[in-house]
Structure 1
Amino acid sequence: MKDESLSPEGTYAIRFDVFEVRMSHWVEVPGIFRLADDALLFDLRGEVWSAGPIAWLSDSVVQLSVRRYPGRVSCELVLNLQVGRGVAICGTNRFEGALSALENWVRRQ
């Protein structure tokens, strides 16, 4: 299971709601917070999207893979938390926009 993932300078954190869906199969649903004020910037919690590999490209840009459970839908996300925008690619579908709109778009995939 994933621990909290901090950005390189500790400005942001990805926190996970973790639960077991089958014996020894865990889902790790991400929510991204700005630590200075604990503001929730991007949230897939409440859904069954499990986080895969995470790469902090800078202190405010994160690359994150998520996969819907169960199913075959997966998305690659690049989120710029400082400017509040990102890009999501789910299969052949692509969306670019504000984090709240991107979050809603991913939830509908």
Structure 2
Amino acid sequence: MKDESLSPEGTYTIRFDVFEVRMSHWVEVPGIFRVADDLVLFDLRGDVWSAGPVTWLSDSVVQLTVRRYPGWVSCELVLDLQAGKGEAICGPGRFEGPLPALENWVRRH
């Protein structure tokens, strides 16, 4: 289980709300923060999206897979935290734009 994933230079962190939904089924819901002031930049907490692999492509660009639980919907996300924008691919759908709009788009899938 993931606790936290810090960007290479420590500028950003992903924190996970981890909880068991059924016997031995754990959900790790991501929230992304700027470390300096604890500002929330992207947050799927409060929903049931579980994070899969997390890859920091640079200090401010992160790639992660999230999957809605229960169900088969998964999304590939690439977020540029410094620029405040990103892209998501959820099944056949694709969205590019500012992080708040991207977060809302992912939550609707």
TM-score, normalising length: structure 1: 0.99
Counterpart of 1:4 in structure 2 is: 4
> Cα RMSD over matched residues?
0.4
Q: Distance in 2 between matches of 1:17 and 1:57?
A: 23
Deviations 1:52-94 (A, max 9, x none): 0000000000001000000000000000000000000001100
Is 1:35 aligned with 2:55? no
- Return the alpha-carbon distance in structure 2 between the equivalents of residues 4 and 70 of structure 1: 23
Q: Percent identity?
A: 83
1:85-100 pair list within 5 angstroms: 85-100=85-100
Gaps of 5+ in 2: none
Q: Which structure 2 residues correspond to residues 62-73 of structure 1 after superposition, within 5 A?
A: 62-73=62-73
Shift of 1:3: 1.9
Q: How many residues align?
A: 109
Who is 1:106 aligned against? 106
Aligned mates of 1:40, 1:3 — CA distance in 2: 17
- C-alpha displacement at 1:24, in angstroms? 1.1
**TM-score (normalised: structure 2):** 0.99
